[in-house]
Each structure stands twice: as structure tokens, then as C-alpha cells.
Amino acid sequence: MPRYVLIDRETGYVGDTADFADYEQPGLTPQRAAQLLDVSLHEVPNMYRETERTAANATYDVFRADVNGGETVPVFEGPDREIIDAIERGCEYVTSLIREGLPVGNSRARSLHAVELETFGGKWLVRVTENCVASVKVFELEAEAHAYAEREGQRLGVGSDALPNPTLLEQSRT
């Protein structure tokens, strides 16, 4: 699996796939690495497309830390100018990514009220739609995600006593 290091252009935060994507299958792409970084930060995974390094609106600069079969830098995480300088010197630039469109799974509401439960990158996402406005919470543990989804389903009047896994339960209120 390639080892990518992503530098957030806005915050300077450094995400290293050696830290957050060790469970990912071979064939990891820069776009998938960015989505896994989103999930590791308890955010909704977004869609990304490649752009030029000079693009002012790029979200991440992506580097390879496993150049020529060796690890060129230790595992990094967090914002630090010295770390960023070391990455830019010691790693191979791959691409820049720009966040675009709606997050993975399309958080645009499909109905007036809904509760959805899914896995992504080893995390559990619960998408709750209330009055056509969707929000997402990210959970590490399946049991916590199911409990939250069940509570929200009961509160909105959708679902059943036991949510299947994964599930999509919808009901429009009139």
C-alpha cells in the first residue's frame, strides 16, 4: 500500500496514512486517502478531485513517503512548519486535491425525515435527516452508532425497534 502524507493548505494539519489507514486495502489512491483522513478526524468523507499544485483553492497537497521502497520520513500527524518542510524536502510530491460537491453518500436529503447507518473507512456514520436537513455523526464503535441511530429513529418516528446493519429507514411526514 502506498504511504501518503497529506498537508491541509488552510490549517497546515498533516495527515499520514501510516497513522490512519493501516486497515486499507492495496490500491490506495490520494482521493481515498483524503476521505479516510476526513473520517479519522470525525468528519464526513468528501469527494475530491486532482488539481494543479498552483491551484489557490486546493484543499490538500499529497506526497509519497515511501519513495523507492523506503520510508523517507517518520509518521507525522498534526500542524507543524518543521514537519511540513521535512515532508516537502524528503517526500515525492504526487498531486493536489480539491474538495468538491457533496460528501460521500450525498448528504442532500432524500426525504423529509430519515436515519441512515453505514460504514466508511472503519468508522460508523449515522446520517440523520430532519425536515430535509441532513447531519452526520461519526462513531468508532458499531454499538454506539446503532444506539444513536435507534434513538434518532424513535425521536423522528422512523424505523423499527431494531435497526438492521446497514440500514436506510425513511418515512415522510405530512
**Residue 74: what residue type?**
P
92 and 141 in a single domain? The answer is no
Q: How many domains does the chain have?
A: 2
10-residue mean pLDDT profile of the chain (174 residues): values are 88 85 72 87 83 93 80 62 84 92 48 72 77 74 88 75 38 33
21, part of any domain: yes
138, part of any domain: yes
- Residue that has been written with the C-alpha cell 476521505 in this structure: 35
Query: Residue 120 sits in which domain range?
Result: 113-170
What are the residue ranges of helices labelled H in 21-93?
30-40, 81-90
11 and 80 in a single domain? The answer is yes
C-alpha cell at 100: 468538491
156, part of any domain: yes
Helix, strand, or coil here: 141? coil
C-alpha cell at 37: 483522513
117 and 57 in a single domain? The answer is no
pTM comes to 0.60
Predicted pLDDT at 86: 83
| Per-residue pLDDT tens over the stretch 13-60 | 888 888 777 655 567 899 989 988 888 877 778 889 999 999 999 999
CA 39, CA 120: separation in Å to the nearest integer? 8
C-alpha cell at 93: 510530491
**Residue 105: what residue type?**
G
CA 45, CA 99: separation in Å to the nearest integer? 10
72 and 131 in a single domain? The answer is no
27-5-99 Cα angle (round to 5): 80
